[in-house]
Structure 1
């Protein structure tokens, strides 16, 4: 796959010319470095039908989820943002008379997703179970029955009334480019761009009217258009999307979705920096095309593979993909990446409740999220620069806080498996950095191998459910105390295959 870097990233080649194996990193952000990275850049999307599982309610909050989210907040100074949506938002119907928080109807009990969701007023307790979270809330665009306007108005008013300040954005519809065909069949095959825009404008008007009536003074904002295919037939609408006959723009944030679509080898599908660059190239092009709007470009729902993931997405390799995908995105000014989660899904960062007899558990992608959080750090002015490396199987970044070099990230993406009979290889990286630094704390992401599902640590810490219910538990004292010295303006770090490291400069 050919590299498809942004022009800004090509400029960064100047900062990392390899001289005698040294990677030259400047003291301040170079030309082409990212804009300031917003808090919550690496965040989560939760399947609509899984909300109660992930958060619980005000009487019985899911303390495990709370612990895991607090770990991320402690690293960055802010909670991740939470998008509620996915396929089941377009199968969800509000019933103000329903006593149960949520009822799920499955075609087959083993299916990943229900075919119908009904929810009542108590459903909204979940949004207050963990105080401080902000949500983007998914509303049903797909339903087009005779009472569609009434149903949508009722759902919107209930969300506004019950979520209060926790409601940050609304999202009308999920993957509408799927509506005319498989797997949705919610619209006729000849459903056009014009019809989509007309319907979106009409229904956002319904939502806005309902919310403003229920919550006077509320600022109603929308995420749009939430397509799945970057090259879909609907794509041209984004240059004029959300503008109705009165010239009223409802568009707040532009979103698209990215999925790996085939179960290839872990090395080619997930542990491949060139693959990350290629998969995001179309989004970077679109973000540039839309920059004149002055709106943040986000990835509303992403993960490493379609259909809720496969075997490889439940592995350390998938966690390293999370790190590279998130850092490359933010380096190139994608303002938010929502990694999708759902009860029983394979690619999740954590399973929040018992499923099929198995206890809740922390999955490898959560460790990827922890590494991203510590790479970005707690600063009100974080900027990133990619450090180009010669191989598909490695990746590196410089992180700047308040315009000064703060930390370095190195990922060795070579796939090495836990049952391998060979010695685990490693790569040494030598960074030439400004002379003001004398030491660096080393924060390593380690595990038995690329295919490992357990015994993972970050900075010597485990976040596993069975050890501390998601709270940090030190399991490797020596790993947590690792330091390296800066000598003659150079700092060296060895990174084993299928692992990553952060150098926090001192």
Structure 2
């Protein structure tokens, strides 16, 4: 429905004109075709961005005998946008302390009365769990892809039988009917490069020992569990470096792992490489993190330099690189940073950065204690279940990527950036097939809601092939970087409903027209994201042919029963890494000429050391002794006991004094009862509460039994306490500077 056109066009036009006059223009020229875009991401899986869940906290997120409604709705939102639920990795430190026991009943973990396993903080057989724990994974939306972690830390005489039994149970109880999650990959062991420090292995244990243990378990699970089910051998993700706290090299780099048992039969069991990282880790990182540092985008690039190199090594092997455990602040976040809109901006930028350097999946880690988790289902720090600002990064990404299964991403260079905005601006081009679909413009200059009128930065796009075309604008915004609520993406709130379902709080749809000279000028407020698209986001239907093709050629991709598809089961190469490249003859002559006999002697010594280091016996001793004692990472428990979560609601998360109706373990408020969608309904039939129906969706409104709409008094009281955003993202800017005109394109709203 069109709004008052003249006022809205004048508002946007004034924003464009004054933004241009107030600040220097930032110029960018995204390629109109992917073939001219330079380095591109892999084709983005519809489940690309997802979540990692600490196994000891699984039931807090899934619910036990019935789905947790908040979790279910939030995952279903993303499935509605991309056509498939996000990828879940179930793994972490707790996973290496858990053994399967089919005699255990109920969903709760049981403490082992007679543990015999090794381990400093907890033995490797500290917990036991049974079938009901695994069945809880079926509380996720149908088809949710799962990478499931198996216990490698346990080394008892029955260790091999135990890991086979655990894998067997996972396939027996997860996704065995038309409903529920699907196991698409297995991870053997969590962060083995920390096993010595955690007390799981002796001081002389090496990466070669890991390779042998890993391959023996992979072979056993394949022969006894996967092969009888017709599942390919390349089903296992190999754990790589989780810490850089080593010297004399990184033993668990991919270039080293391909020389261990992991490479048995040329990597026939390897589906991909499983990397972990955190941008900042409490009590490990050697500086104090602040919001301005977090939003300095150069710090993300520099912190991730080691892992960027690992991505390149993964590409050499021909196996995908999965970032299965990631976060801005580990293990459980920092107050004043992790629960703010600043973290949403960082997370959103990181998703695109990760894709642009050819990472194949990103899972952000969650525990029940974490204020960095995008939503909370229990009671902690005086707050009940709620959606945090970071969730909007997933929602925005998912709408931008869409459901066509042919999306690729490239970073776009910026020129003429003002000095005050150094490392605060970023841009990415998003391609549907070969055609430019969207340009993502990010401004992370910190703006606080209490600091007065915000500044805007003009992004001046050169799009000569789109002259005269209409583009749609979508905005990710909040009052300020410190905001912990009332975030809006593309006019949608996921907080207002009280149960995670989307609500349109601003139905205005901004559009702009590319100028006749191919120029489009888009003002982006400080601490804001604006996406300009050649189509209206959220209206795409699933491209079934593309998605089936992607699933059949990519390990671990949603849509294939096995998770390994038809991808090549063996390595493409195990040599040719940058660190392995020999010096050319010219380089050797140049070194000799420049340094004389002394440099020649050094070169000879260097060559001798290289040859010597290739001998496995010496390399094993050197690498084992090189391991430093990094601080233990117990991600499943809070760092400070005074911040512990109230676990009395862990199994039955529900709003305090307002429990869910019978059959639910989920948050509700009286206001949201009229908008409930029962999780037994397929996410394909869940209609987001937009002011339009996305193409391809058919929905018949249903009111769940025994749920009642709020009274008018309740509704009025709710919206007085939770005001909706009904203004244009440019409104404050226009009110600040007045009205004007601009010659480079114009905008309008619907």
Task: Give the TM-score taking structure 1 as reference length.
Answer: 0.87
CA distance in 1, matches of 2:426, 2:230: 47
- Please tell me whether the aligned partners of residues 180 and 187 of structure 1 are also in contact (alpha carbons under 8 angstroms): yes
Higher relative contact order (CA 8 A, sep 6+): 2
Q: CA deviation at 1:239?
A: 2.8
Matching residue of 1:120: 130
Greater displacement, 492-501 / 286-295: 286-295
CA distance in 2, matches of 1:285, 1:295: 14
Equivalent position to 2:341, from 294, 316, 326: 316
Q: Deviations over 1:338-363 (max 9, x none)?
A: 11112121211111334465321111
- Please tell me whether the aligned partners of residues 34 and 384 of structure 1 are also in contact (alpha carbons under 8 angstroms): yes
Q: CA deviation at 1:89?
A: 0.7
Matching residue of 1:13: none
Q: Does 1:208 align with 2:238?
A: no
- Please tell me whether the aligned partners of residues 443 and 502 of structure 1 are also in contact (alpha carbons under 8 angstroms): yes
Q: Does 1:227 align with 2:231?
A: no
CA distance in 2, matches of 1:337, 1:384: 15
Greater displacement, 201-210 / 24-33: 201-210
Equivalent position to 2:466, from 407, 411, 435: 435
CA distance in 1, matches of 2:66, 2:111: 24
Matching residue of 2:450: 419
Matching residue of 1:255: 274
Q: Secondary structure of 2:51's partner?
A: strand
Equivalent position to 1:188, from 198, 202, 212: 202
Equivalent position to 1:217, from 213, 227, 230: 230
Equivalent position to 1:300, from 324, 327, 351: 324
- Please tell me whether the aligned partners of residues 425 and 441 of structure 2 are also in contact (alpha carbons under 8 angstroms): yes
CA distance in 1, matches of 2:82, 2:263: 39
Which consecutive unaligned segments of at least 5 residues does structure 2 have?
A: 1-23, 113-120, 177-181, 536-750
Aligned length: 473
Q: CA deviation at 1:95?
A: 1.7
Matching residue of 2:100: 94
Q: Deviations over 1:455-490 (max 9, x none)?
A: 1111121111x6241110122334xx2222222222
- Would you tell me which structure has more strand in proportion to its own residues? 1
Matching residue of 1:469: 499
- Please tell me whether the aligned partners of residues 237 and 274 of structure 2 are also in contact (alpha carbons under 8 angstroms): yes
Q: CA deviation at 1:238?
A: 2.6
Equivalent position to 1:385, from 406, 410, 415: 410
Matching residue of 1:134: 145
- Please tell me whether the aligned partners of residues 25 and 459 of structure 2 are also in contact (alpha carbons under 8 angstroms): no
CA distance in 1, matches of 2:52, 2:343: 17
CA distance in 2, matches of 1:244, 1:431: 47
Give the 5 Å matches for 1:32-431.
32-57=39-64, 59-103=65-109, 116-129=126-139, 130-164=141-175, 166-181=182-197, 184-212=198-226, 215-220=228-233, 221-229=235-243, 232-235=250-253, 236-243=255-262, 249-259=268-278, 260-261=280-281, 262=285, 263-268=288-293, 270-311=294-335, 312-355=337-380, 358-389=383-414, 390=417, 391-420=422-451, 422-431=452-461
CA distance in 2, matches of 1:437, 1:142: 61
Q: Secondary structure of 2:67's partner?
A: coil
CA distance in 2, matches of 1:70, 1:148: 38
Which consecutive unaligned segments of at least 5 residues does structure 1 have?
A: 1-18, 107-112
Equivalent position to 1:26, from 22, 27, 31: 31
Greater displacement, 253-262 / 445-454: 253-262
Q: Deviations over 1:358-379 (max 9, x none)?
A: 3211111111111211222222
Q: Deviations over 1:315-357 (max 9, x none)?
A: 1111111111110111121111111112121211111334465
CA distance in 1, matches of 2:394, 2:487: 13
- Please tell me whether the aligned partners of residues 492 and 506 of structure 2 are also in contact (alpha carbons under 8 angstroms): yes
- Please tell me whether the aligned partners of residues 214 and 262 of structure 2 are also in contact (alpha carbons under 8 angstroms): no
Q: CA deviation at 1:105?
A: 5.6
Over 3 Å counting, the alpha-carbon distance change for 1:55 and 1:493 in structure 2 is: same
CA distance in 1, matches of 2:492, 2:364: 22
Over 3 Å counting, the alpha-carbon distance change for 1:100 and 1:494 in structure 2 is: same
Greater displacement, 245-254 / 392-401: 245-254
Matching residue of 2:528: 499
CA distance in 1, matches of 2:504, 2:408: 30
Q: Secondary structure of 2:329's partner?
A: coil
CA distance in 1, matches of 2:73, 2:400: 20
CA RMSD of the aligned region, Å?
2.4
CA distance in 2, matches of 1:35, 1:257: 19
CA distance in 1, matches of 2:468, 2:40: 21
Over 3 Å counting, the alpha-carbon distance change for 1:460 and 1:223 in structure 2 is: same
Over 3 Å counting, the alpha-carbon distance change for 1:289 and 1:448 in structure 2 is: same
CA distance in 2, matches of 1:321, 1:67: 24
Q: Deviations over 1:243-285 (max 9, x none)?
A: 46666632111121121233411221x2122122223332232
- Please tell me whether the aligned partners of residues 25 and 457 of structure 2 are also in contact (alpha carbons under 8 angstroms): no
